[in-house]
Structure 1
């Protein structure tokens, strides 16, 4: 008999339907399902070989277990933009596992943070009430922690992705470890800078309530400061309606800098605004390095205005979480963590790493993303 894959829609969420959802005969009670088989991946210079090997090792160990059916839910902030590849990866993995479950979208950036958090809390409650055995969640904020803890108290494993809630009772976090990611971006920019002294503008975060943003900014700042540059942080303004305000703030920082600005580093998905600010300040030749793979960032890379970007592995973030949830059910948390060990930075955090993409490799990287269905 083959494994069953059934997708259902939660009352408060939007289900992602993918061709990867499993099909076949229902597995009868007490019967062993056929082994899990992953879809073959196209080899590419950007394929994370070690990460792929770790997933294969986890699958091999799971295949030695009883392979009981599992119900799970993966809650993402949205299923468009940055989170589209996350949703694609999660849907594909759930199909390969034959898991009963759904990928559920939150409110994105719609409404106040409190509203987004409570909406997601209700999605967690709905998933628990519906019989889910494991939850992957990209939480909106600390306000999700108590409801996550309630789920854990009922014996449900919870894995956070994209944003961590380290003070909650979640089992593991999967995603970018932000301080070393920021440091990597800082080192990429150093290769483009003239010899100091000079000022570098970081399009980062000074919001103390957002630990991930602060960590990434700190990582970049430390690298550049140690190299002898003066670092000025222009804190990101997320609202699309206030994009021009964000650009104007960076322009003002460029104009006021002493010593003069010699480069810029954007640390989030709206990094392309650095190029807009440099143009507004009549310094279009400033070396700029970015983060993430927003289409506007890609356009500036093609124009030679952005020298490189750093892409989080969103597809793999979504793809590995269902396998981890299934692993924790079938072989236990400790055995699962042992298999993941080469990527663990501590007892609970799994580092996916980032891809460094030079401007001259945009088309190659796009081809890689297309091969896994992960283009935004």
Structure 2
């Protein structure tokens, strides 16, 4: 991290601590005496203008109404790795809002004890028992829906993030629209391909059991097929080391007809596309990837991966407390109206979008992540 990045991180930490102290003092007095004020971010080409403007509009409307204390909790599958920037964003937002709240990961599941899903259900019920008026949840699967419905029935506002529980009574979902994200990745690759015909290998997901991965894959397939290419999906294998997954991609590539002219990886193990291209004897194939794994970044610096597509985890976490507070302060319908620029359906899904990071913009993107305290 650069010295500039470290300074920004220190400034961010001080701002959050100051906001949190202010929240504690005001809540001891029974009310929040100052309007909500967001921390300013330095300009950067990756600054999400529409998303930030939408949050500003939400804050302006909330500040026009009586400001009051609120208790909330954000429950994540983990607190490190992919979820660390989500926790950073949620903590920052709660500090700015002056609410009582925290971010929790699940207790560790044991072989003979409760599952991670059951532990999360316990956390949801405990949050309600503790008086939380707002609950943000990254649910594991449909087994969490009943606990979410119980929370809603007991008067809590519930917003899901990263993964959805659309069959539950949650008010809104905040995250990437995975079909759009896959389509964006394919669109990035199109400008690098020779004219069709040609096969494009997609390192994706072929079954609907994992809905988000399947939607992302379907999005990429649709864009490539519409452009005249033959999409070939290689099922990403997350269990074990790289070798099996790379060999499976290689075997499909050498058998492809028409020949493979490009590759798009849709998950954090996208760096394996480079290894598969080498194994197939086609090291010059254009490749685009997903997420910001250090190995993906290394291949980008080498010019082997031309661009990657990153989910805005920080903004997933940052938006949820603001939305929960908005629902409590100005109501769900008014909150939806303000969020509409980010909602394709206008009802229940808030799209944080994704960042497209070309290989020559790695350092600029790292500077942006440092400015929001979200180094990945």
TM-score (normalizing by structure 2): 0.91
In structure 2, the residue matched to 1:159 is 159
Moved more, 292-301 or 319-328: 292-301
In structure 2, the residue matched to 1:122 is 122
Q: CA shift at 1:116, angstroms?
A: 2.2
Q: CA shift at 1:282, angstroms?
A: 2.4
Gaps of 5+ in 2: 1-12
In structure 1, the residue matched to 2:310 is 311
Q: Does 1:295 align with 2:330?
A: no
User: Does the CA-based 8 Å contact 1:77-1:83 persist in structure 2?
Assistant: yes
Q: Which has the higher helix share?
A: 2
How many angstroms apart in 2 are the aligned matches of 1:368 and 1:46? 7
Check 1:328–1:111 CA distance in 2 against 1; reply closer, same or farther (3 A cut): farther
Q: CA shift at 1:162, angstroms?
A: 0.8
Gaps of 5+ in 1: 1-17
In structure 1, the residue matched to 2:71 is 71
How many angstroms apart in 1 are the aligned matches of 2:254 and 2:296? 23
Instruction: List aligned pairs for 1:197-236, cutoff 5 A.
Output: 197-236=197-236
Deviations 1:317-346 (A, max 9, x none): 110110000010011101111111111111
Deviations 1:206-227 (A, max 9, x none): 1212211111111100110111
Instruction: List aligned pairs for 1:1-16, cutoff 5 A.
Output: none
How many angstroms apart in 2 are the aligned matches of 1:206 and 1:116? 25
Check 1:204–1:90 CA distance in 2 against 1; reply closer, same or farther (3 A cut): same
For the aligned residue pairs, the C-alpha RMSD in angstroms reads 1.9
In structure 1, the residue matched to 2:144 is 144
How many angstroms apart in 2 are the aligned matches of 1:313 and 1:122? 28
Q: CA shift at 1:266, angstroms?
A: 0.6
Q: Does 1:54 align with 2:54?
A: yes
Check 1:314–1:31 CA distance in 2 against 1; reply closer, same or farther (3 A cut): closer
In structure 2, the residue matched to 1:323 is 322
How many angstroms apart in 1 are the aligned matches of 2:229 and 2:270? 20
Q: Does 1:338 align with 2:331?
A: no
How many angstroms apart in 1 are the aligned matches of 2:27 and 2:107? 35
Secondary structure (helix, strand or coil) at the match of 2:243 reads: helix
How many angstroms apart in 2 are the aligned matches of 1:35 and 1:309? 39
How many angstroms apart in 1 are the aligned matches of 2:319 and 2:100? 16
How many angstroms apart in 2 are the aligned matches of 1:73 and 1:28? 19
TM-score (normalizing by structure 1): 0.91
In structure 1, the residue matched to 2:44 is 44
How many angstroms apart in 2 are the aligned matches of 1:357 and 1:64? 38
Instruction: List aligned pairs for 1:260-271, cutoff 5 A.
Output: 260-271=259-270
Match of 1:23 among 8, 21, 24: 21
Check 1:117–1:242 CA distance in 2 against 1; reply closer, same or farther (3 A cut): farther
Q: CA shift at 1:126, angstroms?
A: 1.8
Secondary structure (helix, strand or coil) at the match of 2:65 reads: coil
In structure 2, the residue matched to 1:169 is 169
Secondary structure (helix, strand or coil) at the match of 1:72 reads: strand
Q: CA shift at 1:117, angstroms?
A: 1.6
How many angstroms apart in 2 are the aligned matches of 1:233 and 1:49? 34
Q: Does 1:181 align with 2:181?
A: yes
Moved more, 273-282 or 56-65: 273-282
Q: CA shift at 1:294, angstroms?
A: 1.4
User: Does the CA-based 8 Å contact 1:78-1:108 persist in structure 2?
Assistant: no
In structure 2, the residue matched to 1:131 is 131
In structure 2, the residue matched to 1:84 is 84
How many angstroms apart in 2 are the aligned matches of 1:69 and 1:136? 17
How many angstroms apart in 2 are the aligned matches of 1:106 and 1:237? 25
Secondary structure (helix, strand or coil) at the match of 1:131 reads: coil
Q: CA shift at 1:148, angstroms?
A: 0.8
Q: Does 1:99 align with 2:99?
A: yes
